[in-house]
Structure 1
Amino acid sequence: MKKGIILLIIANILWGGNYICGRFLGPALPPNLLNTIRWAISTVILFGILLLNKKKIPIFAMWKEFLILGFFGIFGFSTLNYMGLRLISASQAGMISAGTPVAILMFSFLLLKEHISFKSWLGTFISLAGVIILFLGKQGSGVASGSWIGGLETILAGWAWALYTVFGRKFGKNTDPLIMTAGAAFYGTLFSALSCIGTVRLDMIHMTGSAWLAVAYVSTLASVGAFYAWNLGVKILGASKAAPYLNLIPVCTVILGIFLLKEVISGISLLGGIITILGAILATQRSSSTSATVQAENSVNHVCSSSGVAE
């Protein structure tokens, strides 16, 4: 059991590191190009793992499902996350993404017609109040610390991830999570590559040795590595016991942001982050704990959170 807990914590730390690298890579690469490079590498790794395990990938047979998942979970979520991280700190993005489980809850209600208890509704409104407080907070981490646009992009990233999770539950009932992730990664990479046409210029690329290391990290450890650690931890502890650990993504992101990027968090921002996390825990404690787990099992990243997170 101890080993399972350690693996889940490692997965959250690795996902939190994705926000740190996304913030660090802001001046080095356009968000859509960074996302293209990241997921192109991750896709090759995922396909390699599946081939080694002699598992077939129905790229064309399930193209509609993979296309939808790739658009929301790989292209939409990651690109919007990296866009937001150019304007706000990793710590703030991580805390905002803590509300992502609430978005999953809402879309599960709207699209899957799942029942939502009064406690879940209460947690939803508490979490939303926390996000509002977060927006009011100011950080001393630089020019972009109080950007509303960056915060909005991070929220939209959470919504994209929520849709990815909900559709993943709908499409993946009889499909291996790793196959779903690989298929989504393939089509998501195509969307990202197409978005670079006419929007990316050579003078927008400023890569250094440290930047390449960050790209290597988000393409491997923050993707495949975190996925493997999480699934192994879930296998040891069980899905219901593992799900609450997703709330560690914003916590890990804040800690890493403070120590690695020297970010400073104001009292009101910290208060908003805590309220957002507590609201998400209350909203997803029972009825959507399974939903939160599927979210993690279908991912290879957060809060992003996670950037809220999360993953």
Structure 2
Amino acid sequence: MTVETKAYLGLMGVAFFWGTSFAASKIALKDLPPMYLAILRFSIASIIFYALLGKYYRDYKIQRKDKPLLWFLGVLGISSYFYIQYTGLNLTTTVNTAIIIATNPIFTALLSSLLFHQERLSSNKLLGILLGFTGIFLIFAGGTRVSLGGATIKGDLLILCNSVAWAFFTVMGKSLVDSYDPFVVIAHINIYGTATMLPLAFSRSFIYSLMNAGLETWLAALYLALTCSVFAYYMWYRGVRILGASRTAAFNYLNPLFAVTIGILFLKESWNLFTLVGGAAILLGVYVASLKGGQVVFIKNKN
């Protein structure tokens, strides 16, 4: 099995876990405010990351010049990102959230090529973006009513900010994962991001909320920490290192596909022809965006 194949399989796992994360977050948000859920989730994840760093990377060093970027990514991709996401999720629907976050590969590809000049925005990637985004809307809007705006406009805008922030997080982290082990990078990002939220953990309100949280909330937080943080974040940046930011971001299109599949098989939710066609479009979009070649669009001349 090639390194690229392993990266693809890992990103499939990421898509599955992130595809179920909205439902798990909704469960936990019944008992905890957005910031408190973020603190609980990433405190658990950071303890695990710290233990693994101590066991397997005790002598691994990160240069001082790179630590400010790690701190910034911790704030961007952990503390502020999930406060905004969980707040938005409380103000809009999971359907709207999945659709809006699916715009992330578009922003990632544009940032990677136009602003940071890391990758070429190829015709394959553009076609894959179009197919994937079309599939998203076929699944969620086909035969159902999806309301973007109106009563959910505040939440929708927050989730859109999330999508743009994740694109910056993905692209800006590439230089770090090119220089260091991806696990070390993502572990430090999680720990630094959690550290910026920890002062709130000493408040009476936070302690009271944890003491009154139900078993479902604790299990949801543990699930989010282990699968959606420790495993998924590592595999995400490993994908960025091996496949590039744009091809990795294309796997975001699989998140809602897994969410719909789980709903049909286990929650007995309804499905129709649009679901099947949309799912096929998403899979085809990821495949096309992952193809190499045709790199002719939006290249900046270097004089």
Name the TM-score, length of structure 1 as normaliser: 0.69
Distance 1:118 1:8, change over 3 A: closer
Distance 1:266 1:81, change over 3 A: farther
Q: In the TM superposition, what are the counterparts of 1:57-206 in structure 2 within 5 Å? A: 58=62, 62-113=66-117, 114-118=119-123, 120-121=125-126, 138=145, 147-194=152-199
User: Is the 2:44–2:225 Cα contact (8 Å) retained in structure 1?
Assistant: yes
How much has 1:180 moved relative to structure 2?
A: 0.7
Quote the Cα distance in structure 2 between the aligned partners of 1:84 and 1:276: 27
AA in 2 matched with 1:191: T
2:57 to 35, 54, 57: 54
Secondary structure at the counterpart of residue 57 of structure 2: coil
User: Is the 1:35–1:75 Cα contact (8 Å) retained in structure 2?
Assistant: yes
1:215 to 218, 221, 238: 221
Secondary structure at the counterpart of residue 213 of structure 2: coil
1:254 to 249, 260, 263: 260
Residue equivalent to 1:292: none
Deviations 1:196-243 (A, max 9, x none): 7999667766511111111111111222234567799x7xxx748x95
Secondary structure at the counterpart of residue 179 of structure 2: coil
How much has 1:279 moved relative to structure 2?
A: 10
AA in 2 matched with 1:218: L
Q: In the TM superposition, what are the counterparts of 1:234-273 in structure 2 within 5 Å? A: 239=243, 243=248, 245-256=251-262
* Larger-Rg structure: 2
- The number of residues matched between the two structures is 279
Distance 1:185 1:13, change over 3 A: same
Distance 1:254 1:219, change over 3 A: same
Quote the Cα distance in structure 2 between the aligned partners of 1:149 and 1:259: 32
How much has 1:139 moved relative to structure 2?
A: 5.2
User: Is the 1:32–1:196 Cα contact (8 Å) retained in structure 2?
Assistant: no
Secondary structure at the counterpart of residue 252 of structure 1: helix
Secondary structure at the counterpart of residue 19 of structure 2: helix
AA in 2 matched with 1:21: A
Quote the Cα distance in structure 1 between the aligned partners of 2:137 and 2:154: 14
How much has 1:81 moved relative to structure 2?
A: 2.0
User: Is the 1:138–1:146 Cα contact (8 Å) retained in structure 2?
Assistant: no
Quote the Cα distance in structure 2 between the aligned partners of 1:261 and 1:86: 22
Name the TM-score, length of structure 2 as normaliser: 0.70
Percent identity of equivalent pairs: 24
Quote the Cα distance in structure 2 between the aligned partners of 1:149 and 1:102: 22
Quote the Cα distance in structure 1 between the aligned partners of 2:265 and 2:135: 24
AA in 2 matched with 1:17: T
- Residue 13 (str. 1) matches residue 13 (str. 2): no
Residue equivalent to 1:26: 29
Q: Which has the higher helix share?
A: 2
AA in 2 matched with 1:92: N
Q: Which runs of 5+ in 1 are unaligned?
A: 289-311
Which deviates more from structure 2 when the two are superposed, residues 25-34 or residues 186-195?
Answer: 186-195
